[in-house]
């Protein structure tokens, strides 16, 4: 009942064509920092502090960092995570929003995190932000030095809107990191155009930008990176509730559907990769985002089926982090609505989640031993679950049914979707 009335109120607040959530504040990316255990009021101050620390020249204490490094809230869920065995985890889109938050959480546990971002500069800035946050959160200079020194974060460039950049990323990984194997790979990056946008923007190879980035970029990366994932490794896909027209968010505006894949089919048959919509319809930015998230769910299920067929031990699961207006995802939406929506969703109606909690969801999917050992699962939670904090993971945040259309993963449609994706990216 509560969800229905909440949805009705949201529908009144926001325009009829919506992402099923919406909006983007100017300060969206910056605001994510407020969700760390200590906000960064002055980054410069922290950097000054860090350089002062370096000038002191104190050496890092060889401390058992794993417990020290955990902030109080991440420590709550520690029993589900095996932090003894250090892992190597790649996260796309880890310079902002839940990807950045998850990267910091995972790095704080002592695991190696590869920050795969649109540009190297953004990846380096993300690494600096993580170090700054940790410096701010440290007890003293010696503590800060030890914690920062123990961090293993590798900034790298991987622009998902350009297949050549993905190629370069993989080649560089093989060359500079000796083709080290990953324990987990998280396909988290995503864009959402302004829901009113009429102009079709395109990736370097000509794909419609939203599906081209959120699905095809990750699809191509997956093709290249799969041999570099450990036998018992996992893949995590950041999907969304809006993939499902029967969910509160997915019911707003034009619902997601890939139809009969006519847009993909035509692009493959004609060799012109400039499809507008997967289903062959007229471009609709709101629907394109929802479709891309449906692609994420179909991809998860079809990939697991293929991995199982070939006897691979790799497990793939996807999740919905919930409505988080404070990330950068809403950057292209109407600024006024974004702000109103943020206050309404997060403070008034309490259906929104915090970025830090969303990062916790990604951390849980990447590391927790409680996450589906057979793969192919979709995790989500009722709106407003971040009020339960870390306790929600494995309780409110749990396995759920995917949309009717995504359930077609057992049918020929999912196979065809996969084959067409292969042809589009040229593998």
Ligand X SMILES: NC(=O)c1ccc[n+]([C@@H]2O[C@H](COP(=O)([O-])OP(=O)(O)OC[C@H]3O[C@@H](n4cnc5c(N)ncnc54)[C@H](OP(=O)(O)O)[C@@H]3O)[C@@H](O)[C@H]2O)c1
Residues that bind ligand X in the complex, under the rule CB under 6 A: 21, 92-93, 95-99, 117-118, 122, 159-161, 188-191, 213, 238, 240, 320-321, 323-324, 327-329
> Closest distance between ligand X and the C-beta of residue 87, in Å?
21
Question: Residue 275: helix, strand or coil by DSSP?
Answer: coil
Residue nearest to ligand X (CB): 97
> Edge-to-edge strands of the sheet including 112-117?
152-157, 112-117, 88-92, 182-187, 229-238, 315-319, 378-380, 398-400
Q: Which is nearer to ligand X, 27 or 66 (CB)?
A: 27
> Closest distance between ligand X and the C-beta of residue 358, in Å?
7
The DSSP secondary-structure symbol of 389 reads G
Rounded CA gap, 76 and 204, in Å? 43
Q: Which is nearer to ligand X, 23 or 65 (CB)?
A: 23
Instruction: Decide: 322 and 248 in contact? Cβ < 8 Å.
Output: no
> Closest distance between ligand X and the C-beta of residue 158, in Å?
6
> Closest distance between ligand X and the C-beta of residue 381, in Å?
11
> Closest distance between ligand X and the C-beta of residue 143, in Å?
29
Neighbours of 8 (CB within 10 A): 10
320: alpha, beta or left, given left = phi > 0 and alpha = psi -120 to 50? Answer: beta
Q: Which is nearer to ligand X, 137 or 342 (CB)?
A: 342
Q: Which is nearer to ligand X, 9 or 75 (CB)?
A: 9
Q: Which is nearer to ligand X, 147 or 356 (CB)?
A: 356
Secondary structure of 31-83 as H, E, C letters: HHHHHCCCCCCCHHHHHHHHHHHHHHCCCCCCCCHHHHCCCHHHHHCHHHECC
Rounded CA gap, 56 and 27, in Å? 35
Rounded CA gap, 322 and 249, in Å? 9
Q: Which is nearer to ligand X, 95 or 333 (CB)?
A: 95
The DSSP secondary-structure symbol of 247 reads S
> Closest distance between ligand X and the C-beta of residue 289, in Å?
7
């Amino acid at each position: 009942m509560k969800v229905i009335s909440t949805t009705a109120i949201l529908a009144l607040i926001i325009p009829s064509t919506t992402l099923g959530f919406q909006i983007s504040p100017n300060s969206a990316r910056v605001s994510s920092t407020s969700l760390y255990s200590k906000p960064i009021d002055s980054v410069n101050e922290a950097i000054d502090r860090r350089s002062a620390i370096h000038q002191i020249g104190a050496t890092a204490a060889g401390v058992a960092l794993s417990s020290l490094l955990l902030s109080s809230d991440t420590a709550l869920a520690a029993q589900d995570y095996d932090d003894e065995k250090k892992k190597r985890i790649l996260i796309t889109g880890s310079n902002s929003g839940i990807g950045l938050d998850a990267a910091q959480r995972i790095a704080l546990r002592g695991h190696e995190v590869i920050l795969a971002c649109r540009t190297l500069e953004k990846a380096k800035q993300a690494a600096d932000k993580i170090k700054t946050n940790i410096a701010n959160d440290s007890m003293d200079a010696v503590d800060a030095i030890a914690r920062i020194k123990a961090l293993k974060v590798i900034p790298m460039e991987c622009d998902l809107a350009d297949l050549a950049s993905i190629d370069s990323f993989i080649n560089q990984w093989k060359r500079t990191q000796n083709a080290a194997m990953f324990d987990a790979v998280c396909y988290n990056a995503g864009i959402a155009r302004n829901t009113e946008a009429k102009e079709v923007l395109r990736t370097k190879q000509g794909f419609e930008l939203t599906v081209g980035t959120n699905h095809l970029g990750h699809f191509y990366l997956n093709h290249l990176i799969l041999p570099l994932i450990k036998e018992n490794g996992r893949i995590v896909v950041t999907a969304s509730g809006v993939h499902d027209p029967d969910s509160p968010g997915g019911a707003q505006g034009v619902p997601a559907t890939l139809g009969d894949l006519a847009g993909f089919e035509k692009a493959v048959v004609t060799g012109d990769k400039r499809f507008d919509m997967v289903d062959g319809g007229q471009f609709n930015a709101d629907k394109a985002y929802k479709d891309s998230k449906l692609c994420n769910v179909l991809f998860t299920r079809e990939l697991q089926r293929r991995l199982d067929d070939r006897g691979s031990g790799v497990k793939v699961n996807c999740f919905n982090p919930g409505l988080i207006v404070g990330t950068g995802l809403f950057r292209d939406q109407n600024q006024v609505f974004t702000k109103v929506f943020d206050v309404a969703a997060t403070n008034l109606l309490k259906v929104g989640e915090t970025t830090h909690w969303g990062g916790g969801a990604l951390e849980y999917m990447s590391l927790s031993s409680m996450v589906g050992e057979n793969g192919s699962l979709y995790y989500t939670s009722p709106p407003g679950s971040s009020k339960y904090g870390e306790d929600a993971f494995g309780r409110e945040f749990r396995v759920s049914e995917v949309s009717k259309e995504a359930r077609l993963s057992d049918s020929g449609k999912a196979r065809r979707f996969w084959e067409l994706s292969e042809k589009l990216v040229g593998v």
